Amino acid sequence: MSYFVVNEKCNGCLACVESCPANALSWKDNGKKRILLHNMARCARCANCWRICPQHAIEFQHLLENKWDEVVSLDLLHCKICGEPLYTADLEKTLSEKTGRELDPFCPRHRESNFAARQALFISKKIEVKEVR
């Protein structure tokens, strides 16, 4: 998606190109067409082009209210009990490799209750062993 939008009022005067302090605007003449170019990485969003355009052709609001781009999509792990989204499978793998143990996907609340249940089980087993003796 382009964040720098120029509407149909543009007459190709290149006032914006001349006024851009970041050299983020340029143009090329391609056969019968003059093409205006914008470089997002260079743009300082100073709005000088918007101010100076005699045709009011630059719609700067897209640079201020732009939409979110999806840049990466990864598998997500959820809490085994309540299903709350926790962290990505790749993060789990990285952490497991670094800590040398597998992570149980539990949310903070259920991690505690799961830990308490495990402890209770461990203690009851100990008691059973003692009783047998």
Partner 1 sequence: MIVGDLKPLDEIAESVLQFRKVLIVACGGCVTVCLSGGTSNADALARELSHPRHYKCRPPIFNTTSIQRQCERDFVKAYLNFPPDTEAILSLACGAGVQTVAECFETLPVIPALNTSFLGSLDEPGIWREKCQGCGSCVLTYTGGICPITRCAKHLLNGPCGGSSQGKCEVSKDIDCAWQLIIDRLKTLGRLDDYEKLFPIKDWSFDRGGGPRSLGVSKTGE
- Residues of the shown chain interacting with partner 1 in the complex, contacts defined by CB under 8 A: 20-23, 42, 44-46, 48, 51-52
10, 59 Cβ separation under 8 angstroms: no
Position of tokens 């100990």?
Answer: 126
Element counts in the chain: helices (H) and strands (E): 5, 6
3-state secondary structure of 88: strand
Which residue's CB is nearer to partner 1, number 44 or number 117?
44
Nearest approach, Cβ of 127 to partner 1 (angstroms)?
44
Which residue's CB is nearer to partner 1, number 42 or number 56?
42
Nearest approach, Cβ of 22 to partner 1 (angstroms)?
5
Nearest approach, Cβ of 15 to partner 1 (angstroms)?
13
The Cα-based distances of 26 to 18, 34, 42 in angstroms read: 9, 11, 11
Q: Which two tokens stand for residue 24?
A: 């983020």
Nearest approach, Cβ of 53 to partner 1 (angstroms)?
12
Give the count of alpha carbons within 13 A of 2, CB side only.
11
Which residue's CB is nearer to partner 1, number 41 or number 129?
41
Which residue's CB is nearer to partner 1, number 20 or number 79?
20
